[in-house]
Structure 1
Amino acid sequence: MAFMHHRNTSLDFLKLILSAFVVALHADFLIDYSPILNHFTVQGLFRVAVPTFFIISGYHFINVTNIDQLYIWCKRIFLLYIIWLLIYAPFWFSTISHDFNGLKRMFFLFITGYHHLWYLPAMIGSGCLAFYFRGNVFLGSLASAILFIVGVVIQYVGNYKLVLSHSIFFDLDVNFLHRNFALFGFPFFYFGYLISYYGIPFRLKKSTVYLLLCLALTAYFFEVFINYFGASVGGFDNYLMLFFLCPILFVFFCQVEINVGFGKAVSLLAAGVYFVHPYAIWFFGKIAEGRETVFSIYAFVFSMFLSIFIVKINNKVRCIL
């Protein structure tokens, strides 16, 4: 039986924390102090952010019950995507050549998303898949688990160079091959939908959630540890243990009671930070080399400052957050 849910203020504050994680990740937090601490944060702790964002979105997707509501939901996200893609045009338009290859590159960028904006088209695809499986949660659960495993395998094979790229015609160590709506977004999005569908936060005891969270954190950071001392190269998105940690982390915050009257404002502020932070990073980028940790803090504070103005604009036009 599906559970209809209203606003949970603790989730609004979780969004703000996760947005801070994204800023710090992109600013390469702690790299100027310790490579191992940088790895355990940038390639570890902060990687819970985007999967948990997908879970939050999937959790609220339970309210989309018919094709008309799905159309309105998709249209809103698509409009949001187009607006922010245009806002970031100064970053990506100069990389587009004025020929057929440039046209192909622009189409590819539009489909996969620029930088952090990949989350929006991935969420549309995830929502459409979740809607398709809404009548058969067993099949949806099976599909999401299989797709996630495929993404994890591609990530590991690509990062550890287990298959030579020329033997399969392309390099597996490319983000969009494993970090896309089908192999990354949908599995977490559907997990959020299932948590809502079965009312998991209302069924599990807090003591059980605490225990599961401790076990999931231990298992996750063990995987992060392996990747630090292993043969891995480059960034890492598709950790296997994220599929266990992020849902438990989400349920933990669902059970946290925060009684304030400005949860919506916090949620909008978090969204603003997420969308605008590359401009903050660019603004401080020239002074960042060798001072990445302080730079991360500056970038987050400046993103918060910019987000306040974005929220004010959104209160007028209602289409940028």
Structure 2
Amino acid sequence: MQRNKLLDLLKLLLAFLVITGHAKFLTDTSESLSYYLNNGLFRIVVPIFLIISGYYFSNAVNGHKVIRWFKKILLIYLIWMAVYIPMWFVMDFANFMMKLFMGWHHLWYLIAIVYAGICVYALKDVKASLLIGLAFFLLVTGYIIQLGFITDFFTDFPYLSKHSRYIYRSFIFIGFPYFYVGYYIRQQNVAAKLNRAQSILLVCVGLVLINLESYFFYNQLNLHREIDIKLSALVLAPSLFILTSKFNLKMNVDGKMLAVYSTNIYLIHVWLLVFYRTFFSLPKLLLPVIVFLTSVVLITLGLKVKRGLPGFIRHLAVFKK
């Protein structure tokens, strides 16, 4: 399959948007605009990442390289969980194992695609229409469970409330559904069945829906809490991915290298956020840009010295498809 460099550029943009979300972009400037972005539009980032992962997972399935794919992702996950262990380590054994098997902070995405990949591979011979229906059902179920937590429906269950994000922000309710959507798009050649005009129309509909959903929560229900699952993302995320896949810009740029940067920006940005928040007082408007640029510099330096490093250390700086 020919590499689509525009998709690689999209991933780089998504990595930057992840930083903006974690940096609480604009919260010190405009609470409402910050909500509409950080808990609205930017919530399509992880779904698109999952869709892209599922889309390319089909290469591993079709090329009989699934075991190699699993080992690579799992190794990346374990190494980066070790890198971040000062931030998440707890003495309580049950809590420690929950974090290890469910993923801490942004690293939940890596273990989620491992579990999602196992499920997709195990179910690959099941009728596609049944699985896409299952993906939709799980996503809606996770959305309803999330609503229960953010509206304090589960206040009588303190243990569940304490670990709520491990319940609804998981491979079951987000990881598998969107990962399978990506796999489904590739296996069923969905992009070829939609022309550009139809794809643009779906993207526009998705943009309207996600803003209406944000308006409903923020202005009508007066719920200003973080929301991981946006139901409207089920329209916008696949549509934007399909639309992007229909363009393949001819650029003098290494698509694989763009993927290396986008992935590693995602992986290292939390440490950089902690560093800048600890030693500097930066406006939230500027913080994401500085973290992004610092990430690019560090990754560039890492790529220059990686050849002299042991193999397992190289996984800290390079993650290629």
Is the structural similarity TM-score above 0.5? yes
CA distance in 1: counterparts of 2:166 and 2:31, whole angstroms: 26
1:25 corresponding residue in structure 2 = 21
Q: Is the 8 A contact 1:269 1:311 kept in 2?
A: no
2:61 corresponding residue in structure 1 = 65
1:118 corresponds, among 90, 105, 108, to 108
Q: Does 1:55 align with 2:17?
A: no
1:156 corresponding residue in structure 2 = 147
Q: Is the 8 A contact 1:123 1:185 kept in 2?
A: yes
The 1:311–1:249 alpha-carbon spacing in structure 2 relative to 1, beyond 3 Å, is: farther
- Report the identity percentage: 29
SS of the residue 1:182 aligns to:
helix
Structure 2 counterpart of 1:254, one-letter code = S
Q: Does 1:281 align with 2:277?
A: no
SS of the residue 2:161 aligns to:
coil
Q: Is the 8 A contact 1:126 1:185 kept in 2?
A: yes
Q: Is the 8 A contact 1:59 1:193 kept in 2?
A: yes
The 1:308–1:71 alpha-carbon spacing in structure 2 relative to 1, beyond 3 Å, is: same
The 1:109–1:313 alpha-carbon spacing in structure 2 relative to 1, beyond 3 Å, is: farther
1:91 Cα deviation from its structure 2 partner: 2.0
**After the TM superposition, which of the residue ranges 60-69 and 217-226 deviates more from structure 2?**
60-69
SS of the residue 1:237 aligns to:
coil
1:242 corresponding residue in structure 2 = 233
Structure 2 counterpart of 1:271, one-letter code = T
5+ residue gaps, structure 2, are: none
Q: Residues 149-228 of structure 1: matches in 2 within 5 Å?
A: 149-161=140-152, 163-166=153-156, 170-171=160-161, 174-228=164-218
The 1:310–1:105 alpha-carbon spacing in structure 2 relative to 1, beyond 3 Å, is: farther
1:113 Cα deviation from its structure 2 partner: 1.0
Structure 1 residues 68-106: Cα deviation after superposition (integer angstroms, max 9, x where no partner): 62222111111001111111122223xx22xxxx22222
Q: Does 1:272 align with 2:268?
A: no
Structure 2 counterpart of 1:92, one-letter code = W
2:301 corresponds, among 299, 306, 309, to 309
Q: Is the 8 A contact 1:145 1:187 kept in 2?
A: yes
SS of the residue 2:56 aligns to:
helix
Structure 1 residues 207-245: Cα deviation after superposition (integer angstroms, max 9, x where no partner): 111111111110111101111122424211111111111
1:298 Cα deviation from its structure 2 partner: 1.3
1:77 corresponding residue in structure 2 = 73
1:6 Cα deviation from its structure 2 partner: 3.2
1:310 Cα deviation from its structure 2 partner: 3.6
CA distance in 2: counterparts of 1:290 and 1:168, whole angstroms: 36
Q: How many residues align?
A: 310
CA distance in 1: counterparts of 2:191 and 2:23, whole angstroms: 34
CA distance in 1: counterparts of 2:276 and 2:143, whole angstroms: 34
1:287 Cα deviation from its structure 2 partner: 5.8
SS of the residue 1:293 aligns to:
coil
5+ residue gaps, structure 1, are: none
Q: Is the 8 A contact 1:28 1:38 kept in 2?
A: yes
2:244 corresponding residue in structure 1 = 253
Q: Is the 8 A contact 1:48 1:246 kept in 2?
A: yes
Normalised TM-score (structure 2): 0.90
The 1:288–1:296 alpha-carbon spacing in structure 2 relative to 1, beyond 3 Å, is: farther
The 1:288–1:231 alpha-carbon spacing in structure 2 relative to 1, beyond 3 Å, is: farther
CA distance in 2: counterparts of 1:269 and 1:314, whole angstroms: 14
RMSD of aligned alpha carbons: 2.1
The 1:263–1:204 alpha-carbon spacing in structure 2 relative to 1, beyond 3 Å, is: same
**After the TM superposition, which of the residue ranges 252-261 and 307-316 deviates more from structure 2?**
307-316
CA distance in 2: counterparts of 1:213 and 1:154, whole angstroms: 26
1:263 corresponds, among 255, 258, 266, to 255
CA distance in 2: counterparts of 1:106 and 1:144, whole angstroms: 29
The 1:91–1:302 alpha-carbon spacing in structure 2 relative to 1, beyond 3 Å, is: same
Q: Is the 8 A contact 2:35 2:224 kept in 1?
A: no
Structure 2 counterpart of 1:187, one-letter code = P
1:128 corresponds, among 94, 97, 118, to 118
Q: Is the 8 A contact 1:126 1:181 kept in 2?
A: yes
